[in-house]
Structure 1
Amino acid sequence: MRVLTARRRDGDGRVTVGLARMALATALGVVLLHAPAYAQGADPLASQVSTDPNARLLVEADELVYDNDSNTVSAVGNVEMNYDGRTLQADRVVYDRDTSRVFAEGNARLTQADGTIVVGERFELTDDFSSGFIDSLRVEQPVVEAGRTGTGRFTAPRAERIEGRQVVFQRGTYTTCEPCAENPSRPPLWQVKAARIIHDNVERTIYYENATVEFAGVPVAYLPYFWSPDPSVRRKTGFLAPTPIVSSTLGNGARVPFFINLAPNYDLTLRPAYLSRQGVLADVEWRHRLLTGSYAIRAVGIFENEPEAFNRVRPPEGYDDARGMVESVGRFSINPRWNFGWDVTLLSDRFFLEDYDLTSENVTSTFRTEAVSTVYMTGQGERSFFDARGYYFEGLSEADFQKHQPVVHPVVDYDRRFAGPGALGGEIGITANFTSLTREAAMFQPLGANSRTVTTPGLAADYTTCVSFDGDCLAMGLSGSYTRVSAEASWRRRFIDAFGQSWTPFAYLRTDGVWFSPSLRGYENAGVASFTGSEDDFYGRAMPAVGLEYRYPLAGRIAGGTQVIEPIAQIIARPNEMHVGQYPNEDAQSLVFDDTNLFEWDKFSGFDRAEGGVRANYGIQYTFNGDNGVYVHALFGQSVQLAGQNSFDERGLLNVGAGSGLDDRVSDYVGRIEVRPYSGLRLGARARFDRDDFSVDRIEADLTGRIGNLTTSVLYARLAPQPDLGFTQAREGVNASARLNLNENWYLTGGVALDIARYRDDPESGLSSDAFTSLVVGAGYIDECTSFTVALSSTPISGATTGDRYNRKILARLEFFTLGEVGFEQRLNQDGQDRPL
């Protein structure tokens, strides 16, 4: 026997060989270089990245031995081979040139470029890794799913690789749980044990035969056969977790989703639900991603077997035993500055979503108050903005009458800012708005006993029609077609003098053209003529203004920080507002006077009203920035009508301005304060104080952030009565949510919306359940491989005033990371039995 031995050349035992000069390098290089390339994560034993033809193989070992008699090449003792990001380590690596097989023995460990680690006591593989055996196999494979990262772990006493396609783990286990650091022999939180686990890297599927699911070492489920996608697969055809259904109105059944991966950029999801009382609820969703965006279409429908189960005294318009929904969402990018899209929801009736406990992309809040459909196009430049969109609103509560809802076709906004030319300097702004809408039936709100109203039974709800206007009836929306075009040009420039005082003169000119064509058809529109007349009309309006704003920030060091005290004063001169109450008010109905609009040039929220007269606004602002991270900011001020007609005392068709704090010559006081004692915690409040006795007419306070292990958000609000707007009682409430981390895995969570006004009006009854407009309490567990949540929720039934007014549910969800999840949701009350419809 003749043996050639390559001894170590230096102190660290390293021998570097070129690919073409050493038989061992050539032979073992075949193993690392020429294994088939698969998609990342598809096969834990395959080469997972393409090789670099210019890469060099580095071999480190105590000895390199070439045996001519046995025709083998060996690396012996602390073997480490590195090539193109992959590393093979073992006590001994042997390449048999006669059989073209590679043997890696003694603590063999292969680390792939993507981080996958394959460990075995002995590797016996063909030189291209296509077939062979591995003893005492352990595989650790990085996985990413839904933004989470983890490690998939396969173990088996023996594994076989078959023709580069499959890896068969005999008596294998799979889990994504970390082994216990203190006791590695302890079973993981969950694992799957199977007689055989077959990892098919072509189908990218893992098959389990005679499998048992263990939780904390205890078998909890036996499955003779099932399969799951490879952990690297994000999209694969197959069943999703089913959801059981138990309901008094729907019956018992289950929803069984099935996902169909038609192509990498489009798919289909079927969510049929069998309901023992109502039949089969069909639910299908199509999703498609294109080069410039994506869209989705969902259709849900059912032919009810027992529509009488919902116990409706008066069914809503369009209601019969055929019910359903179609919705679509689209988002597309024309170029980096322009986008267009749509959000559309069409319903057979407004109770369909609630009756079948369905969610929709375009339904506002979990209370399902309305469905908002829109088609839009937006453009964004460096100093410009464009937005055009149409709206269709569908009310979902029992009090809604669909004819009251406008169809907006469309509303367009444009804004552009640019530098003023030459000596003018400063900033010039151009703002424009176009609004066009149609409403079929007028909507009125009576305020007092003196208003003459007629209540007419509609198909699903009663609504009120004012037959005359005497100041005690508000026109929330008038029937007919309404179109308005508004344009505004503005200029402002800031000057800072030698004393640090800031002087900002400004001017603007706003023009409006309004066309209104009232509709008097139908008894619900009998009172429209009392408000705006019965003829088509056009109004023009212009509002020029000039003004000056003054600020004088005074800064200094105090108490370990920097403070700034800044007096602010502003004066605006303009003529009186024109045509108040002569045409509809669609977008300026909401007026809240507070710190955010104290120094606004026009305090109305929209374009349908334009503030007039000479007005002064003044206040003082304080800011403290501490060196230790403490932050305090406060503002306090007031507004005064100096001359001309006070627009907020001219209330129009909606009494806008009444009770706002601006309706007298001298306004109420407004202020805000914000405190951040440290990063991550914020306390804030804003309030309006009566100008005469300084009582609080409006207050909003909030606390958000982390306090130790508690993360919380609390919002409190109290609004004084505004009888001229229909609010005869004070409104007061709290909305709070919190999460308490008990330790690194367990947490408690909850949320509540509390109507304090209901308790205050009847304190002897105690804090009854009616005061809780919504309530959620829950608990959860999460670690690297498992998440579990359980929650109890109570939410209002939209518009319900009698009977069973809340939907109470228990929800539970268990997820095994990469393996799947299962959820359960059950209503606790007898849904629908006592509804007033």
Structure 2
Amino acid sequence: MRINRLGNVYEGERLQLKLDTFEGRFDAVRFEFLRTGGQGEASRVEFLDDKRSVAHDVRYSTCERPPGASWMPAWAVTAQTVRFDLDTDTGEASGARLEFQGVPLLATPWISFPLSDARKSGVLPPTFNLDNQSGFETTVPYYLNLAPNRDATLYPTLMTRRGLDLGGEYRYLERPYSGQVRAAWMGHDRLRERDRWAYALQHQHALPGLDWLPGAGLRLNLNRVSDDDYWRDFPRTSTITNLAQRLLANEAVLSGGQGVWHYSLALQRWQTLGASRTLVPLQSDLIVAPYDRLPSLALRYRPDGLTLGGVGDWRFSADLDVTRFATRRLPQVWDGSSPGDQRTDLDGTRALGVLRLSRRWETPGWYVEPSLQWHARQYRFEQPLGDGRRSAGLALPTAAVDAGLFFERPATLFERAVVQTLEPRVVLAATPYRDQRLLPVYDSAAYDFNPATIFASNPYGGHDRIADLKTLTYGLTTRLYAPSDGAELASLGLAQRLRLQDQRVTLPNEGVAAQGRSDILLGATVNWTPEWSLGGTWQYNPARRTSVRTLLSARYRPGPYRVFSLAYRNNETTTARSRQLDLGWQWPLAALTGDGAPAAVPGRALGPQQWYGVGRLNYSFTDRRIVDLVAGFEYDAGCWIGRVVLERLQQSSTRANQRILFQLEFSGFSRLGSNPLQTLRTQVPRYQYLREDIDPPSRFERYE
């Protein structure tokens, strides 16, 4: 007997069936499912009615069955009996086990599973990790399908060197709000001899019923851990994410707007893991916590366009902000003349107003954009400044003119037709001097010196330092475009800033920036062929006649699942000089032996029996050691994939966390072992997963 139903094929020796009640049996059945590509066999299938059936001595796998030979798949799920119920869309298996190469990996006397993509409560595949800090880790997740719009997952994790970590996640989705809560608790961690815990909450809530607050919405982002060492000891926990960072944000934001008006009210407090009590950390492993905002009220006005003096299309914006800044650091006051640290660190309230007006005149060959900014702020401090004041205020304007030209011409380069452009640009900016030395720095920092920020009218981000500038910034860029589709093939840019007077307003402990020319910035990109991508940025100091910062990058990608990236970074502009090399790769090993790699197969990488090398390495030339490392191998056997990855994460100058990740992925069924995929996706540039979701084949492909 052979039955082809919607592309799913069933074959057997004998079929007995009552057509009116759909009762009967099918002996020596072999089946093949179109959607998953899986196939199997059973000694017999008993049909109880048109919705229920029982299969005996079942074996299922996605490994191919060779024609005319006995079937011994590399992996298979076997069961004594499997009951199917289409009414409840569930199946129940008795005496089930998962075998790989004839070795049982998992076994259970009874298990229930869904028959479709619908969610169902139950045990998820376990994961295993081997860590030099926690020992052998085993996680057995349990999924709870609470409702169509709510679910939860429990993550109990046993760590042989530390104890039992109880983690969980709860997700919810309603029409006006949604979010998730994650938490973990470990009683008496043997590593630190104390209880450990963490939680994270993300919540978004639309508030359409507040007529007096149009478009209102509430956002909560709460993150908290038990102690300062949590980021070291739980850098990759599956329950609380992003804990490798040491700044955990806790914020509540009410925001909205209507038309040209926008508003926000925010409360923000940071948990800093290993926070210093002063602005200058006395220990190398301490960091400085940012200021908390308790609270911050902001109002923004952005009209679509204004008409001034009969000229339209003027862009105008007004920003108002009132923020109370608070910190748990020890207060520090500088009197303006004492040697040593020149920083003031005080709690206070800042009221801020920024008005901006600009207009752009533009044609295909040139543009001119004048702008005017009025920046005013008022402070009130909880302790007096170095000169005895408890309040301070200042206002100052900034005028700027941004102008540029565009030239282009057809050209031929290396026997290829291109369009070349020449784009000179000039920015003239002026801001008067206001003494700001004694004021604290709540949110200001120096911009990174790059081809984008060199044209900014203020070298500092934030609002606590507005530099007194009279600068002329000039640059020249040339680009090569493909005339057929406009793709940029190459670009080369050069820029420099000329200070027409000394810049006296600086950040604390910075010297006066003397008039004259700044460092020269040079940037280039080359994308001449789809396989190669090259780029670089150089910061050249004319006085020292040397490059003080260099970034060089290259990427070679000749085809799918073949990528190699290289980056070199050298920075001498900071106190601690750094020189690093960054390598990333995903490459089939067959391409290294000279045999060449086969063409890609839709949804299945380069086909079966393929080895891949994958990884990323960051090496520090100054420290002469590997800082971070992710390296391993993947083997695609067709119906299963094996992965082994070594991960090393540097946590301090003397301490690193290392673990081995290994995983067996049974195609179309499940994964067993660790979870290296998340690490590979985040660490390896342009990493491609060996299995991709594709549209299922049509049932008409098996039409008979």
Structure-1-length-normalised TM-score: 0.68
**Higher mean Cα deviation, 118-127 or 739-748?**
118-127
CA distance in 2, matches of 1:357, 1:515: 40
State the structure with more CA Rg: 1
CA distance in 1, matches of 2:158, 2:287: 31
Secondary structure of the corresponding residue to residue 354 of structure 1 = helix
CA distance in 2, matches of 1:362, 1:299: 7
User: Matched residues, percent identical?
Assistant: 18
CA distance in 1, matches of 2:259, 2:638: 43
User: Which gives a bigger RCO, structure 1 or 2 (Cα 8 Å, sep 6+)?
Assistant: 2
The answer on 1:712 being equivalent to 2:599 is no
Q: CA deviation at 1:601?
A: 3.4
8 A Cα contact 1:509 1:543, kept in partner: yes
Q: How does 1:229-248 map to 2 (within 5 A)?
A: 229-243=113-127
Q: Deviations over 1:28-58 (max 9, x none)?
A: xxxxxxxxxxxxxxxxxxxxxxxxxxxxxxx
Please name the residue that 2:490 is paired with: 632
8 A Cα contact 1:238 1:260, kept in partner: yes
Gaps of 5+ in 1: 1-105, 144-149, 311-319, 445-463, 521-528, 760-770, 827-837
The answer on 1:554 being equivalent to 2:401 is no
Secondary structure of the corresponding residue to residue 670 of structure 1 = strand
Q: How does 1:65-464 map to 2 (within 5 A)?
A: 106-111=1-6, 116-120=8-12, 123-127=15-19, 130-141=22-33, 150-179=36-65, 187-216=72-101, 218-221=102-105, 223=107, 225-243=109-127, 254-274=138-158, 279-304=163-188, 306=190, 309-310=191-192, 321-332=194-205, 340-356=218-234, 359=237, 364=242, 367-376=244-253, 389-397=266-274, 404-408=289-293, 409-410=295-296, 412=298, 414=300, 416=302, 418-421=304-307, 423-432=310-319, 434=321, 436-442=323-329
CA distance in 2, matches of 1:575, 1:224: 75
Amino acid at match of 1:197: V
Amino acid at match of 1:537: S
Secondary structure of the corresponding residue to residue 236 of structure 1 = coil
Q: CA deviation at 1:673?
A: 0.5
Gaps of 5+ in 2: 209-213, 276-283, 590-596, 598-605, 677-704
8 A Cα contact 1:564 1:624, kept in partner: yes
The answer on 1:592 being equivalent to 2:448 is yes
Amino acid at match of 1:562: V
Aligned length: 638
Please name the residue that 2:397 is paired with: 543
CA distance in 1, matches of 2:373, 2:254: 27
Please name the residue that 2:580 is paired with: 733
Q: How does 1:687-702 map to 2 (within 5 A)?
A: 687-692=538-543, 694-702=545-553
Q: CA deviation at 1:633?
A: 1.0
The answer on 1:749 being equivalent to 2:614 is yes
Q: How does 1:649-688 map to 2 (within 5 A)?
A: 649-655=504-510, 663-679=514-530, 681-688=532-539
CA distance in 2, matches of 1:719, 1:358: 29
Amino acid at match of 2:497: S
CA distance in 2, matches of 1:443, 1:754: 37
Please name the residue that 2:279 is paired with: none
Secondary structure of the corresponding residue to residue 595 of structure 1 = coil
Amino acid at match of 2:660: I
Do the aligned partners of residues 746 and 119 (structure 1) sit closer, same or farther apart at CA in structure 2, a change above 3 Å counting? same
8 A Cα contact 1:390 1:411, kept in partner: no
8 A Cα contact 2:129 2:659, kept in partner: no
Q: CA deviation at 1:293?
A: 4.4
CA distance in 2, matches of 1:571, 1:639: 9
Do the aligned partners of residues 551 and 305 (structure 1) sit closer, same or farther apart at CA in structure 2, a change above 3 Å counting? closer
CA distance in 2, matches of 1:783, 1:337: 54
Please name the residue that 2:464 is paired with: 608
Secondary structure of the corresponding residue to residue 598 of structure 1 = helix
Amino acid at match of 1:263: A
Secondary structure of the corresponding residue to residue 108 of structure 1 = strand
Do the aligned partners of residues 701 and 432 (structure 1) sit closer, same or farther apart at CA in structure 2, a change above 3 Å counting? farther
The answer on 1:791 being equivalent to 2:676 is no
CA distance in 2, matches of 1:183, 1:200: 33
The answer on 1:570 being equivalent to 2:431 is no
Do the aligned partners of residues 353 and 689 (structure 1) sit closer, same or farther apart at CA in structure 2, a change above 3 Å counting? closer
Do the aligned partners of residues 269 and 714 (structure 1) sit closer, same or farther apart at CA in structure 2, a change above 3 Å counting? same
Secondary structure of the corresponding residue to residue 434 of structure 2 = coil
Please name the residue that 2:659 is paired with: 809
Q: Deviations over 1:428-478 (max 9, x none)?
A: 03152636243334479xxxxxxxxxxxxxxxxxxx998996454253x72
CA distance in 2, matches of 1:683, 1:387: 42
8 A Cα contact 1:205 1:227, kept in partner: no
CA distance in 1, matches of 2:356, 2:261: 14
8 A Cα contact 1:509 1:545, kept in partner: yes
Do the aligned partners of residues 252 and 703 (structure 1) sit closer, same or farther apart at CA in structure 2, a change above 3 Å counting? closer
Do the aligned partners of residues 327 and 518 (structure 1) sit closer, same or farther apart at CA in structure 2, a change above 3 Å counting? same
Secondary structure of the corresponding residue to residue 587 of structure 1 = coil
Secondary structure of the corresponding residue to residue 622 of structure 2 = helix
Q: CA deviation at 1:483?
A: 2.0
CA distance in 2, matches of 1:183, 1:746: 29
Q: Deviations over 1:561-615 (max 9, x none)?
A: 3333324242435341323323222333132222112333334222322243332
Do the aligned partners of residues 241 and 535 (structure 1) sit closer, same or farther apart at CA in structure 2, a change above 3 Å counting? farther
Please name the residue that 1:772 is paired with: 626
Do the aligned partners of residues 548 and 811 (structure 1) sit closer, same or farther apart at CA in structure 2, a change above 3 Å counting? closer
CA distance in 2, matches of 1:746, 1:414: 56
Amino acid at match of 1:599: F
Secondary structure of the corresponding residue to residue 449 of structure 2 = coil
Do the aligned partners of residues 581 and 305 (structure 1) sit closer, same or farther apart at CA in structure 2, a change above 3 Å counting? closer
Amino acid at match of 2:622: A
CA distance in 2, matches of 1:297, 1:712: 38
The answer on 1:480 being equivalent to 2:347 is yes
CA distance in 2, matches of 1:702, 1:411: 42
8 A Cα contact 1:362 1:373, kept in partner: no
CA distance in 2, matches of 1:735, 1:756: 11
Amino acid at match of 1:638: Q
Cα root mean square deviation, aligned: 3.8
CA distance in 2, matches of 1:466, 1:362: 41
Do the aligned partners of residues 618 and 249 (structure 1) sit closer, same or farther apart at CA in structure 2, a change above 3 Å counting? closer
Q: Deviations over 1:520-579 (max 9, x none)?
A: 8xxxxxxxx5xx445421312121414251314233233333333324242435341323
Q: Deviations over 1:175-197 (max 9, x none)?
A: 233445x8875533321233323
Secondary structure of the corresponding residue to residue 583 of structure 1 = coil
CA distance in 2, matches of 1:576, 1:271: 59
CA distance in 2, matches of 1:225, 1:266: 29
Q: CA deviation at 1:651?
A: 1.9
Do the aligned partners of residues 324 and 221 (structure 1) sit closer, same or farther apart at CA in structure 2, a change above 3 Å counting? closer
Q: CA deviation at 1:686?
A: 1.4
8 A Cα contact 1:735 1:754, kept in partner: yes
CA distance in 1, matches of 2:299, 2:583: 35
CA distance in 2, matches of 1:613, 1:468: 22
Do the aligned partners of residues 735 and 471 (structure 1) sit closer, same or farther apart at CA in structure 2, a change above 3 Å counting? farther
8 A Cα contact 1:637 1:670, kept in partner: yes
CA distance in 1, matches of 2:207, 2:22: 47
8 A Cα contact 1:686 1:701, kept in partner: yes
CA distance in 1, matches of 2:525, 2:580: 21
Do the aligned partners of residues 806 and 700 (structure 1) sit closer, same or farther apart at CA in structure 2, a change above 3 Å counting? same
Do the aligned partners of residues 818 and 414 (structure 1) sit closer, same or farther apart at CA in structure 2, a change above 3 Å counting? farther
Q: CA deviation at 1:220?
A: 3.3
